[in-house]
Amino acid sequence: MTIETRKSYCRICTAYCALDVDVDVDAGRVRTVRGDATDAVSGGYTCIKGRQLPYQMYGPARLWQSQRRQPDGSFAPIPTAQALDEIADRLGDIIMRHGARAVATYSGNAAFNNSVALPVIRAWHQGIGSPSNYSTLTIDQPAKIIAAVRHGVWGGGGHTFAEADVALSIGNNPIVSSLTLPGGPPGTNPVKSVADAKRRGMRLICIDPRRTELARRADLHLQIHPGEDATLLAGILRVILTEDLYDAAFCAEHTDGLEVLRAAVADFAPDYVAARTRVPAEQMCAAARLFAAGPRGYASSGTGPDMGPHPCLVQHLIASLNTLCGRHNRVGERIPNPGVLSAPLPRPAQAIPRELLPPILSYGRGPASRFRGLRQMFEEMPTTTLAEEILEPGEGQVRALLTVAGNPAVAVPDQRRMVRALDDLELSVCVDVTMTESARRADYVIAARHSFERDDVTEFMDMFYEVPYAHYTEAMVEPEGDTIDEWELFAHLARRMGTSIELPGGPLDVAHPPSKLDVMKLIRPMTRIPFERLRDVDGGCVYDELDVRVDPPLEGMEARLQFAPDGIAEELATVRAEAPDAGGDPFTHRLICRRLGHVLNSVGHEFPQSRAKGHTNPAYMHADDLADLGVTPGDLVEIVSDQDTVIGVAEATDEIRPGVISMAHCWGSAPDTEVDVRETGSPTSRLVPTDRDYDPITGMARMTAIPVRVRRLAVPR
């Protein structure tokens, strides 16, 4: 057996940890992986999920051949090319009968880690004339993009964690989630990054209802009552404004609306904020002063505040906090990471006018949803409306759904309706590496390439790294079985349907598909470092030669950052008028979102080492709550929201306060299989309504701070 070690990176999550991959060249198979200690960013770090990549690739659950549903409901293998021809013909027929809008795509989390899938899918949709392009973006953190558009984008970029004197992290636990957001603690090699920062004296403030792995490392942990981020941030802004701790010169030169914001937060006095958020007033004031003192540092956030109430307001307040304290790079400063794959455009020290932002940074225009007055944003439809768009008859009804690298049956809010919708489709296709809960309900399941069978580049993270880093990987082995890369699948459909895929650099030749590298170049025709150079480097690399400085403001380009764009003062008044959460009946508890280290959403539940860590998503509660309920760890509890009910396995934790339940999502199966909760977990998405309690701009459902009540279930263990 000849083993060759090749460099690549893990694509289970966006940490993109660099790996040394041992390949058995005789068998053409990946054997083992380990962290690449020489990598400048991940430094050898990996997690339990990534170390099981060979199992994901070759384990019994791997799908090697596409499947077609038989009349009796079972699946039989079908050549992928034949399946795609049949699917293309059926899509053509559906478009003829119902119009192009009837054809929808839902791209899941794993699609973001294929470096060309999403742009190709977007262009394919434009080619067939269907706006029905959905992804997890709109059930994740869409509020961040809305805030960037509404508040404004600073051309010179913001401060990074690596150079921060103080960092404020809100509802983000990168130590477990590995999620990196601009200015926040890096999700790649997170333990070391945070330790290094603390060693050089950086102060860390965390706002989280749970004493997370990150919060434990913080100088100040503000243990907020779930869902009260808008109140707390308004309070912090008020302290900074009333104590004159802000960058008045920067604000005078580059912003509008400061006095409106000042008036809008005036009623959020420390005692009021403390009563609502359950963060002691002194602690809130200390956090405000510490953050404002800087002088460098950034306020960043993860999913916590985005899944709660008023997500767009909260993100606006976070953006405003950074601007208020002047945490933007100034003329002549070096931009730590200008983006290796970004176009070499000027980076001026000013706000970029809205009309010059790329289409992905847009909302409120484009086709309207048929529901709740929502519209396309980021050239996508809101995923919280997908089930209704499928189920509700009338013009524009979705009749065919292509699910790419996602698992809507467990991930999308209002699970019962989503599952009903999947079953109602005329044509349901899933593209996946394994048979998922969604795939089991599909007409066709297309066997996808595993990441180790694909060329890819660290596209999604390009702007988020703290240094100009990129990693181009080629496929580790020749693909086995009869699988397909997503972009080739859409090229195949376009060829058969006679439609086009127009990418920024020109049309994709669907009759003679080029190499994946060529597709990357069509998507990004201008990059600071040419793709060929990235390809020719073995492993990840920091392109330190990219010495990009912040340019002076551009002649004739006028735009300012906005503290009080439309709706902000009004929404703050709405928050102020809300009755404080007294935690009374009927909903005694608040269920909050969290991640578990051994799985990624619905991925990895069957990996052996992950299963050994746990095969359910425990309902974590404070010991006092368990005692009150007469429950001991391991007992079953019934968790009821105003939408639905799930069964959970109770577990004790001292990381949260009484009255809070912390529970991971994407577990369990389709409705009515709760008996298996100890083996398969249960889907919190079932508790979440989409037609009430949603954000009016994005349609985002409330997936944290969910009001629930809980009681013991008297069943034998």
Ligand X SMILES: Nc1nc2c(c(=O)[nH]1)N[C@H]1C(S)=C(S)[C@@H](COP(=O)(O)OP(=O)(O)OC[C@H]3O[C@@H](n4cnc5c(=O)[nH]c(N)nc54)[C@H](O)[C@@H]3O)O[C@H]1N2
| Residue whose structure tokens are 């660099």 | 18
Among 385, 562, 601, 680, binds ligand X (CB under 6 A): 601
Q: Which is nearer to ligand X, 222 or 529 (CB)?
A: 222
Query: How deeply is 506 buried, as exposed, middle or buried, from its count of CB atoms within 10 A (0-12, 13-18, 19+)?
Result: exposed
Binders of ligand X among residues 168 to 227 (CB under 6 A) are 170-174, 176-179, 207-210, 212, 224, 226-227
Among 6, 7, 10, 95, binds ligand SF4 (CB under 6 A): 10
Q: Site mask, ligand X, residues 274-313, x = CB under 6 A?
A: ----------------------------xxxx-xx-----
701 touches, from Mo ion, ligand SF4, ligand X, none (C-beta below 5 to 8 Å by class): none
50 touches, from ligand X, ligand SF4, Mo ion, none (C-beta below 5 to 8 Å by class): ligand SF4
> Which range, of 367-375, 535-543, 570-578, 698-706, touches ligand X by CB under 6 A?
698-706
Binders of ligand X among residues 136 to 175 (CB under 6 A) are 136, 139-140, 170-174
Minimum gap (Å) between residue 662 Cβ and Mo ion: 17
Among 19, 261, 377, 666, binds ligand X (CB under 6 A): 666
Q: Which is nearer to Mo ion, 42 or 109 (CB)?
A: 109
Q: How distant is the alpha carbon of residue 515 from its chain centre?
A: 28
Among 46, 138, 434, 562, binds ligand X (CB under 6 A): 434
Minimum gap (Å) between residue 613 Cβ and ligand SF4: 13
User: Using an 8 Å Cβ cutoff, are 172 and 162 in contact?
Assistant: no
The total of other beta-carbon atoms located within 10 Å of residue 179's CB is 22
Among 20, 23, 39, 46, binds ligand SF4 (CB under 6 A): 46
Among 703, 707, 708, 710, binds ligand X (CB under 6 A): 703
Structure tokens at 15: 């940490």
Among 39, 140, 208, 674, binds Mo ion (CB under 5 A): 140
Minimum gap (Å) between residue 50 Cβ and ligand X: 10
Among 6, 13, 108, 160, binds ligand SF4 (CB under 6 A): 13
Binding of ligand X by 406 (CB under 6 A):
yes
Minimum gap (Å) between residue 17 Cβ and ligand SF4: 3
> Which range, of 41-49, 193-201, 260-268, 352-360, touches ligand SF4 by CB under 6 A?
41-49
Residue 348 DSSP code:
B
Structure tokens at 534: 């990235």
Q: Which is nearer to ligand X, 254 or 590 (CB)?
A: 590
Minimum gap (Å) between residue 513 Cβ and ligand X: 18
Rg (CA), the chain: 25
3-state DSSP call for residue 305?
helix
User: Using an 8 Å Cβ cutoff, are 152 and 164 in contact?
Assistant: no
Binders of ligand X among residues 13 to 72 (CB under 6 A) are 13
Q: Which is nearer to ligand X, 101 or 595 (CB)?
A: 595
The total of other beta-carbon atoms located within 10 Å of residue 580's CB is 13
Binders of ligand SF4 among residues 133 to 192 (CB under 6 A) are 178
Minimum gap (Å) between residue 384 Cβ and Mo ion: 14
User: Using an 8 Å Cβ cutoff, are 372 and 388 in contact?
Assistant: no
Q: Which residues, including other chains, have CB under 8 Å from residue 345's CB and lie 6 or more apart?
A: none
User: Using an 8 Å Cβ cutoff, are 409 and 398 in contact?
Assistant: no
Q: Which is nearer to ligand SF4, 175 or 687 (CB)?
A: 175
Q: Is the peptide bond before 348 cis (omega within 30 degrees of 0)?
A: no
Amino acid at 67: Q
Minimum gap (Å) between residue 466 Cβ and ligand SF4: 16
Among 12, 239, 503, 701, binds ligand SF4 (CB under 6 A): 12
Minimum gap (Å) between residue 682 Cβ and ligand SF4: 24
Q: Site mask, ligand SF4, residues 50-89, x = CB under 6 A?
A: x---------------------------------------
297 touches, from ligand X, ligand SF4, Mo ion, none (C-beta below 5 to 8 Å by class): none
Q: Which residues, including other chains, have CB under 8 Å from residue 646's CB and lie 6 or more apart?
A: 638, 639, 668, 674, 682, 683, 684, 686, 687
Residue 437 backbone class (left: φ over 0; alpha: ψ -120 to 50; beta: rest): alpha
Structure tokens at 598: 């051994």
| Rounded CA separation 562/26 (Å) | 61
Question: How many residues comprise the chain?
Answer: 717
17 touches, from ligand SF4, Mo ion, ligand X, none (C-beta below 5 to 8 Å by class): ligand SF4
179 touches, from ligand X, Mo ion, ligand SF4, none (C-beta below 5 to 8 Å by class): ligand X
User: Using an 8 Å Cβ cutoff, are 191 and 275 in contact?
Assistant: no
Q: Which is nearer to ligand X, 476 or 596 (CB)?
A: 596
Q: Which is nearer to ligand SF4, 34 or 416 (CB)?
A: 34
Among 8, 36, 41, 49, binds ligand SF4 (CB under 6 A): 49
Would strands 153-154 and 166-170 be described as parallel, antiparallel, or unpaired?
Answer: unpaired
Minimum gap (Å) between residue 666 Cβ and ligand SF4: 15
142 touches, from ligand X, Mo ion, ligand SF4, none (C-beta below 5 to 8 Å by class): none
Q: How distant is the alpha carbon of residue 624 from its chain centre?
A: 33
> Which range, of 12-20, 118-126, 422-430, 502-510, touches ligand SF4 by CB under 6 A?
12-20
| Dihedrals phi, psi of 336, to nearest 5 degrees | -55, -40
Binding of ligand SF4 by 17 (CB under 6 A):
yes
Would strands 103-107 and 133-135 be described as parallel, antiparallel, or unpaired?
Answer: parallel
3-state secondary structure 671-710: CCCHHHHHHHCCCHHHHCCCCCCCCCCCCCCCCCCEEEEE
Minimum gap (Å) between residue 277 Cβ and ligand X: 10
3-state DSSP call for residue 590?
strand
Among 15, 30, 181, 312, binds ligand SF4 (CB under 6 A): 15
Total residues in contact with ligand X, by rule CB under 6 A: 64
Minimum gap (Å) between residue 108 Cβ and ligand SF4: 15
Partners of residue 710 on adjacent β-strands: 639
| Rounded CA separation 666/644 (Å) | 16
User: Using an 8 Å Cβ cutoff, are 46 and 36 in contact?
Assistant: no
Taking each helix axis from N to C terminus, what angle separates 80-98 and 486-497, rounded to the nearest 10 degrees? Answer: 50
3-state DSSP call for residue 645?
strand
Query: What distances in angstroms separate CA 7 from CA 44, 462, 476, 518, one per listed residue?
Result: 12, 19, 8, 21
Q: Please give the helix or strand (H or E) that residue 19 lies within, else none.
A: strand 18-24
Among 665, 667, 690, 695, binds ligand X (CB under 6 A): 665
| Residue whose structure tokens are 């703290």 | 466
Q: Which is nearer to ligand SF4, 53 or 232 (CB)?
A: 53
Minimum gap (Å) between residue 211 Cβ and ligand SF4: 22
3-state secondary structure 423-445: HHCCEEEEEECECCCCHHHCCEE
| Rounded CA separation 324/332 (Å) | 21
Binding of ligand SF4 by 636 (CB under 6 A):
no
What share of residues in the chain are helix, strand, coil (percent, to 5)? Answer: 35, 20, 45
Among 16, 298, 378, 607, binds ligand SF4 (CB under 6 A): 16
Question: What does the binding site for ligand X look like in residue numbers (CB under 6 A)?
Answer: 13, 108-110, 136, 139-140, 170-174, 176-179, 207-210, 212, 224, 226-227, 229, 302-305, 307-308, 404-408, 411, 431-434, 436, 448, 450-451, 592-597, 599-603, 665-666, 684-685, 688, 703-705
Question: What does the binding site for Mo ion look like in residue numbers (CB under 5 A)?
Answer: 140
Question: What does the binding site for ligand SF4 look like in residue numbers (CB under 6 A)?
Answer: 10, 12-13, 15-17, 46-47, 49-50, 178
